[in-house]
Amino acid sequence: MTIDLISYERRVKINDDVITLYPLDVFLSYLLSRSVVSAKLKFNQEYSKRRHGSLILLDYKPMASFKTKLPAGFMPFIIEVNSPSNIYDVGYPASIEVNYVNKNIYLNIADLSRMIEADFELYKKVFCVTIIQFTTVKVFVFEAIVIKYKNIVNSRYEDEHELVERKMQTLIQMLESTNPTIRENFLIEDGLYFLPDTSDVLYPYIFLIPKGIVNEISNYLLTLYQQNYSIFTKLPAGFIPNENIQSPELQKFLEKLPLDFIIEAVIGTYGSHPAILLPKRDYTQYLTGNEHLINIEERVVVVFGNPQQHQQQNVGQNKEEGNSNIDLNIAERLGKEIQSIYESIIESYFINNEEKKNRLEKLNNVLDELGKAILDALKSQIPLDANELRKYAEDIKSAGLSYINNFEYYIDYYENHLTTSAKLEILVMLLHSIGNIMYDIGNTIKELIHNN
């Protein structure tokens, strides 16, 4: 199955340019899968392909573009994929070891050897990925499994196409049954491919690429991005991203900022006030007169409405009421984090419907346990301990396919900035969100079962 980039694209307008972006993991998966397929179709030739890309962090989500001439805030990089001409026949062992960046995963084929041997041949091919960012260079090496159908197929005979495609899909299903985590460990690409400059002959292949190599390269690029642009991938406690915030003062501030500063800005709220999160630098000349700057590590939160003065004038009960907005935002964002894990499962192209069902059931069980724990806490009027919430958050994340999340930032705020009554209020709202998500999960599972 070829990755459908179009379904993941996001378009943003900067000045007069419309820029098409893709989630970084999808972008890298697409490039690597295309390289593996192209390298094998060159048969006994060396493969080398250099591609250009640019990386930006939008709302703390890494996005990539194929364009390189982009405004400030985009980090250009080169990804070069090379593969020697040789390919290794692995025979029909009980399992195949696949290496990436000195890590190993395994494909179990012990019970399938005879079935595979009847129609397919098994190979491994080595690939070298070089990431170049100006003078910084890093090399990643990985192996891919190549499953080749023993016969070529004439493109004019549709019945022959259908027979081979059925055999390939049957093999993939059998591999899934003997390797329950195969979709977690491997990108699977399959198809009947034309050799360049030919029109009548199709070559059936199945390619298995370790997903871990995508995560390794993605994490490296994000590290470079943070070093180059001083933009952090973690949100400070109390700041809630919300690009839909409307504020005349905030708008005036943005109009004064240079374009390369705007690219780095994250709009949201801090407490009950509109705010912008920016890298640490001097913004004095851009201030409109009613802002308050809060320095947090290497970042600055520009808060509009002068909340310091507001807090000095309103003590006691008013101060507590003023904090209630951020408390409600924390509850809302925790619910959205869980929602994003649910969406990472149902929208994934990496896994089939059966794996989606299994992951949704796992997520549903964790949410059910969390809901019961919240009910017990509300009955006793003793809030859940933050470490207990962290445990549930880890279980929730393990069910999904998204590796970027903000659970810890919100749990840290819950732990260090809320009163007992505020924590209980958070738990009430979170319980409501959990109920809605579990309802959606139940309906989705029914649909998946029906479609199978």
The residue-averaged pLDDT of 59-83 equals: 86
Question: Coil, helix or strand for 39?
Answer: helix
Instruction: Based on the fold, state whether residues 270 and 169 are members of the same structural domain.
Output: no
- Cα(182)–Cα(216) distance, integer angstroms: 18
Instruction: Based on the fold, state whether residues 218 and 236 are members of the same structural domain.
Output: no
Instruction: Based on the fold, state whether residues 204 and 262 are members of the same structural domain.
Output: no
Give yes or no for residue 77 having a pLDDT over 90: yes
Instruction: Based on the fold, state whether residues 355 and 426 are members of the same structural domain.
Output: yes
- Cα(192)–Cα(167) distance, integer angstroms: 12
The answer to whether residue 409 sits within a structural domain is: yes
Question: pLDDT tens across 119-169, in order?
Answer: 999 999 999 999 999 889 999 999 999 999 998 888 788 888 889 999 999
Instruction: Based on the fold, state whether residues 96 and 186 are members of the same structural domain.
Output: yes
Instruction: Based on the fold, state whether residues 157 and 52 are members of the same structural domain.
Output: yes
- Cα(297)–Cα(131) distance, integer angstroms: 29
Candidate from 26-35, 157-166, 321-330 with smallest mean pLDDT: 321-330
In percent, how much of the chain has pLDDT > 70?
Answer: 88
**3-state DSSP helix/strand/coil % of the chain, to nearest 5:** 45, 30, 25
The answer to whether residue 318 sits within a structural domain is: no
The answer to whether residue 427 sits within a structural domain is: yes
Question: pLDDT tens across 205-215, in order?
Answer: 999 999 999 98
Question: How many domains would you assign to the chain?
Answer: 3
The answer to whether residue 81 sits within a structural domain is: yes
Is 11 exposed, middle or buried, given 0-12, 13-18 or 19+ CB atoms closer than 10 A? exposed
Q: Is the pLDDT higher at 27 or at 333?
A: 27
Instruction: Based on the fold, state whether residues 180 and 252 are members of the same structural domain.
Output: no
Instruction: Based on the fold, state whether residues 94 and 32 are members of the same structural domain.
Output: yes
Q: Return the ∠ at Cα 52 (arms to 48 and 53), rounded to 5°.
A: 135
> According to the model, what pLDDT value does residue 309 have?
40
Residue count of the chain = 452
Instruction: Based on the fold, state whether residues 186 and 244 are members of the same structural domain.
Output: no
**Residue at a domain's end among 261, 290, 313:** 313
Instruction: Based on the fold, state whether residues 76 and 96 are members of the same structural domain.
Output: yes
Instruction: Based on the fold, state whether residues 136 and 208 are members of the same structural domain.
Output: yes
Instruction: Based on the fold, state whether residues 403 and 286 are members of the same structural domain.
Output: no
**Residue at a domain's end among 313, 346, 372:** 313
Question: Coil, helix or strand for 18?
Answer: strand
DSSP result, 91-127:
-S-SEEEEEETTEEEEEE-TTTHHHHHHHEEEEEEEE
Where does the pLDDT of residue 71 fall: very low under 50, low under 70, confident under 90, or very high at 90 and above?
confident
| CB 345, CB 356: distance < 8 Å | yes
Strand residue runs (E) in 211-282:
239-241, 266-270, 273-279
Gap between the terminal Cα atoms of the chain: 18
Question: pLDDT tens across 393-410, in order?
Answer: 888 988 876 544 567 778
Residue given tokens 């499962």 in the structure block: 345
- Cα(21)–Cα(56) distance, integer angstroms: 9
The residue-averaged pLDDT of 116-121 equals: 94
Residue given tokens 């094998």 in the structure block: 40
Structure tokens at 151: 């016969």
Supply the range of the domain harboring residue 18.
Answer: 5-226
The residue-averaged pLDDT of 264-281 equals: 82
> According to the model, what pLDDT value does residue 171 have?
94
